[in-house]
Structure 1
Amino acid sequence: MDARVAVFAPSPQLTITIEDLDGEPDVHLHAGGQGFWQSRMIAALGVEAVVCATFGGETGRVLRTLLEGEHIDLKAREVAARNGAYVHDRRDGSRDEMVEMLPEALSRHELDDVYESALVEGIRAGTAVLSGPSDDRVLPHDTYFRLTSDLAGNGCRVIVDLAGDRLAEAVRGGPHVVKVSHEELGEEELPKLIQKAKEIASSCVHGVVVSRAGEPALALLEDQLYLVRMPQLEAVDTRGAGDSMTAGISAGLALGMSLTDAVKLGAAAGAVNVTRHGLGSGGGEAVRELGKRVELEPIEE
């Protein structure tokens, strides 16, 4: 069977970005949101991304049209709750948020349907990524406990990249890999981050990867600690690097890589992403080549 990853993307976003083109405004409309950005990188790495998502309102209709041109297998549920959207101005080289429209909450039946879709597709694929919406009101936090537990209990490797209560609920369900930032853990010192990673790993987690901004990521893989070292690249836009790292790890596992090799691929995917303007973007060939240069340096305690 071909390599596949199911992506739970409960409420994608419509993104509108204004760039500068020879002194004139250049407006770009794209599908966005954490789950979609992850699925884009998964597909770039040669793995089929099966995206389970909801679409509602005017923003939802536009998103569906935009997604028709993407290389993903979309499992769409039409809902009454409208999708969110934002407008960013990048004409001066930085990313300035002009406006954001938050998504609406899913009804109980709408949530049941997208949950069921993610459960079925995750079990079929054997690997699943659970992403979050842009606002907490879209779905209850305990959805992530239930879905993680249900998928893991049926032989699916679950990778989560979440924050706050969503992260806590997913960890309680026993995912395969957790990717988290040092900001989310509220620590900067390496010894304290190691302790936090061990606490997460105690919930039957095989791997914990902690991104640390410009510092080498920390990885706790099957009880072995590593620093993830890779060549430095000049950053154009650091936003979305973490999502690309998560996507690379999940794609590597779906391709049959060891956990250590999958983390190397994820680190390379995150690094390539920062050299580009598009979130979740990067060529598979570039990621694989850079992955050869990623080193996992063991940490001895």
Structure 2
Amino acid sequence: MSEHVMVFAPVPQLTLTIEQQDDTPDIHLHPGGQGIWQARMITCLGVPATICAALGGETGTVLEQLIAAEGMQLRLVGRQASSGWYIHDRRDGKRQEIADVPGAQLSRHELDELYGLALAEGFRASVSILSGPPHPSVVPPEVYRRLATDLTSNGNRVVADLSGDHLAAVLAGGVCFLKVSHEELIRDGRASDDSIDELVGALHRLHDEGGETVMISRAGDPALALLDGEVFEVRMPRLQAADPRGAGDSMTAGVSAVLARGGDLHEAICTGAAAGALNVTRHGLGTGRAQAIRELIKRVRLNPLGSATKSA
């Protein structure tokens, strides 16, 4: 296995953002979606990322070129339907969604081709990230369960940042590191509220279901992590946010980059926390300079909660 990360990003979206430059509107085109943002941050940290995706139509042609331009390797399956896209208007400083098209569900043949591609790349990589589709209907959860099972049972390390049925699916297959937000846990009924006791209980339940190490992000509050049976509060530096979106994806990417080059989980969690903290200071999702992240790592603290106990 080589020191790179396979990112299963099944259906990326073409993102169009309208911004205001003085008196003139400006438009920015980028590849988007959870897996793209994760791969972008991994690349920023100096670790090669290989994206496994299905692309089609005119938007797919543009996406292919944009992904290559960012220095991320793309392993591609062609699809009959056009790839998804979204348009955001940020001219007044706030992000307003104009349209969002996740794309059609992948066909059985497309899923078979993409599965084989991701499995082969996952076997070659140090770490594999299973990232979610823009809408749950586009890729069935069963694909994630099978990938997690086949990669994990063959000695490969799987990282996931998912919710809903897709989260349950990867847990059934087993993952070495799971990141999930507290909002998603509450929405999915895995936690009744955002209290520390309730979230600590959720950490242990997620571990029992198949997450070897589990981390819960909590927006502006310190994240919680279950590592080797002990619960830690992850204290990150407080920075002024330009755009809070994408912090969790950068966190997952930072963890994966460190694991891919042989680092331990303490270092991985601190790096993920630093990457997530820096990302909110920027408008570009999954972006940040490696030197700035290295400086922020020095300010991350893992504080044992000590008295936290497993809930029923």
Same-fold call, TM cutoff 0.5: yes
- Quote the offset at 1:102 in angstroms: 2.4
The amino acid of 1:257's aligned partner reads G
In 1, distance between residues paired with 2:144 and 2:92?
Answer: 38
Deviations 1:105-162 (A, max 9, x none): 1111111111111111111112100001111221211111110010101111100001
CA–CA distance in 2 between the matches of 1:240 and 1:14? Answer: 16
The 8 Å contact of residues 207 and 222 in structure 1, kept in 2 or not, is answered as yes
Aligned Cα root-mean-square deviation (Å)? 1.0
Of 283, 292, 296, 1:290 maps to 296
Distance in 1 separating the partners of 2:89 and 2:58: 22
Match of 1:123 in 2: 123
Contact kept in structure 2, 1:152 and 1:175, CA below 8 Å:
yes
* Structure 1 residues 190-239: Cα deviation after superposition (integer angstroms, max 9, x where no partner): 10000011001013422100000110000001111000002111100010
Unpaired segments of 5 or more residues in structure 1?
Answer: none
Task: Say whether residues 1:150 and 2:150 are aligned partners.
Answer: yes
Q: 5 Å matches for 1:53-64?
A: 53-64=53-64
- 59-68 or 235-244: which moved more? 59-68
Q: Which runs of 4 or more aligned residues in structure 1 lie more than 3 Å from their structure 2 counterparts after TM superposition?
A: none
Q: Map of 1:182-261 to 2, 5 A cutoff?
A: 182-186=182-186, 187-261=193-267
Instruction: Give the partner amino acid of 2:277.
Output: A
* Alignment-mate amino acid for residue 48 of structure 1: P
The SS at the match of 2:244 is coil
Aligned-partner Cα distance in 2 for 1:204–1:181:
17
Aligned-pair identity in percent equals 53
**Structure 1 residue 2, shift from structure 2 partner:** 5.0
The one-letter code matched in structure 1 to 2:178 is V
Q: For the Cα contact (< 8 Å) 1:126–1:155, is it kept in 2?
A: no
Contact 2:11-2:54 at 8 Å conserved across structures = yes
Does the 8 Å CA contact 2:2/2:124 hold for their aligned counterparts? no
Distance between the aligned counterparts of 1:81 and 1:220, measured in 2? 41
Q: Offset at 1:257? A: 1.0
Are positions 1:81 and 2:81 aligned together? yes
- Secondary structure of residue in 2 paired with 1:6: strand
CA contact (8 A) 2:2 2:126 kept: no
Cα distance in 2 between the residues matched to 1:111 and 1:273? 32
Q: Amino acid of the residue matched to residue 39 of structure 2?
A: S
Partner of 1:159: 159
Write the distance in 2 (CA, Å) between the matches of 1:50 and 1:201: 28
**8 Å Cα contact 1:151/1:158 also seen in 2:** yes
Post-superposition offset of 1:266: 0.3
Q: Retained in 1: the 8 A contact 2:3–2:126? A: no
Mapping for residues 95-106 of structure 1, pairs under 5 Å:
95-106=95-106
Aligned length: 301
Code of the residue aligned with 1:9 in structure 2: it is A
> Among 250, 257, 271, which residue is 1:265 paired with?
271
Q: Hey, what's the Cα distance between the residues in 1 that align with 2:74 and 2:109?
A: 20
- TM-score, normalised to structure 1's length? 0.98
What is the CA deviation profile of residues 20-78 of structure 1, one whole-angstrom value per residue up to 9, with x for unaligned ones? 10122110011111101100000111111011001011211111121220111110111
**AA of the residue aligned to 1:80:** Q
CA distance in 2, matches of 1:247, 1:46: 12
Q: Could you state the TM-score of these two structures normalised by the residue count of structure 2?
A: 0.94
Task: Return the alpha-carbon distance in structure 2 between the equivalents of residues 115 and 269 of structure 1.
Answer: 29
- Tell me the amino acid that sits aligned with residue 115 of structure 1: Y
Opposite residue 215 of structure 2, the aligned amino acid is V
Q: Does the aligned pair in 2 maintain the 1:141–1:165 contact within 8 Å? A: yes
| Partners of 1:136 and 1:57 in 2: CA distance | 21
